[in-house]
Amino acid sequence: MDTHLLLQLTINGLIVGALYGVVAMCFVLIYKASQVVNFAQGEFLLIGAWICWWLLTKYQLPFYAGFLITLAFMMVFGLVLQIVVLRPLIGEPVISVIMVTIGLSIFFQALMKWIFGVFAQPFPPVFTTKSVAVFGLEVQTVYVMSTVVSVLIMIGFAWFFKFSRMGLAMRATAFNQQVAQSLGISIRQVFALSWGISAVVSTVAGVVVGIVNGVSSALSFFGIKVFPAVILGGLDSIVGGVLGGLIIGLLENLAHFVDTQWLKWGNLYEVAPFYILIVILMIRPYGLFGTKDIERV
C-alpha cells in the first residue's frame, strides 16, 4: 500500500474538506435561522468571486482591499435579497421556498454570464509564493489561506453563537420562532442578518476556488456538492456542517485512493459521497449531529 500517496491524499482531503465545511456552515446558518433551504448557495460563491475579480482587474486594487470591499458588498446583497424576495414568503410551505431559491439561482447564473461573459477568467496573481509544502504535498498558498480563514470563521461562529447577543437571538429563533418573538427578538432582523452573514462567508469560499480554478459559471456547482456534507452532519448543526464537509473531502480522496489501487472502477471520487450518504441516513436519519425531531401529538 502506498502510504506516501495515502498521506498526501488525506491532507488534500482535509484541506478541500475545510472549504466544503465553510460553505456547509453558511448553508446550515440559513437553514437554522430561517428554515429555508437555500439552493442558491452556489450562486453566492459565484457572485462573490466575480465581484472580487472585477475589483482586482478593473480597478487594480490590492487583494486585501478588493476582498474586504467584496465582503461588505455581499453582506448588503444578502440582506437585500432576504428582505426583497424571502420576506413575502414567510409562512409558505417549505417546498415553495425551495423553488424560489432555485428560481433565484437560475436568475443569478444568467445574470452573471451576461455581465461578466461566458469565458472563464483567471484571477490576477495574488500570492508571491504559489505553493507551500505541507508534509510533502505541494499545496497552493491560497488553500493554506483558506484553511486558516476557515478555522478562524469556525471559531468566530462558535463565539458568536455562544456569547454574543445576536447569536443567542438566532439560536432562540431557530428553536422556536414564536417564543423568541414573545421575548422581544426581532425575527426579521435575525433572518436578514443570517442571510447577510451566510453570503459573506460564502464569498470567502468563492474567492478561494476562483483563485485556484479561475472564475466561471461552474463555480455554482459547488453548492450542489455541499449537500451531502450538510446532510451528513445534520441540517441544523453548524459543527455538523463543518465535520460533514471534512468527512466528504476525506471520503472523496480516500475513495479515489481505494479506487486507483484496487477497485479500478474509475469514478468512485464522484459517487462515493452519495453512497456513504445513503448508508449513514439509513443508520442515523438525522445525520450525525442533527437534532431529532421529537413529535408531539
> Residue 269: what are its φ and ψ, rounded to 5°?
-55, -40
Q: What angle do CA 275, 30, 84 make, to 5 degrees?
A: 130
Specify the residue, 1 or 184, whose C-beta has the smaller distance to other proteins: 1
Specify the residue, 160 or 269, whose C-beta has the smaller distance to other proteins: 269
Q: Please list, in sequence order, all residues whose beta carbon lies within 8 angstroms of the beta carbon of residue 270, skipping any fewer than 6 positions away.
A: 252
Least separation in angstroms between residue 255's CB and other proteins is 9
> Which residue stretches of 38-140 are H helix?
41-58, 63-81, 94-116
Specify the residue, 102 or 168, whose C-beta has the smaller distance to other proteins: 102
Specify the residue, 103 or 164, whose C-beta has the smaller distance to other proteins: 103
Least separation in angstroms between residue 26's CB and other proteins is 16
Least separation in angstroms between residue 163's CB and other proteins is 29
Least separation in angstroms between residue 176's CB and other proteins is 17
Which position has the grid cell 484541506? 15
SS (H, E, C) 222-268: HHHHHHHHHHHHCCCCHHHHHHHHHHHHHHHHHHHHHHHHHHCCCCH
Answer for the pair 24, 233: CB distance below 8 angstroms, yes or no.
yes
CA gap 172, 190 in Å, rounded: 10
Least separation in angstroms between residue 200's CB and other proteins is 22
Specify the residue, 159 or 274, whose C-beta has the smaller distance to other proteins: 274
Least separation in angstroms between residue 161's CB and other proteins is 21
CA gap 283, 286 in Å, rounded: 9
Specify the residue, 133 or 184, whose C-beta has the smaller distance to other proteins: 133
> Residue 274: what are its φ and ψ, rounded to 5°?
-75, -40
Least separation in angstroms between residue 68's CB and other proteins is 20
Specify the residue, 53 or 185, whose C-beta has the smaller distance to other proteins: 53
Answer for the pair 249, 17: CB distance below 8 angstroms, yes or no.
yes
CA gap 188, 150 in Å, rounded: 28
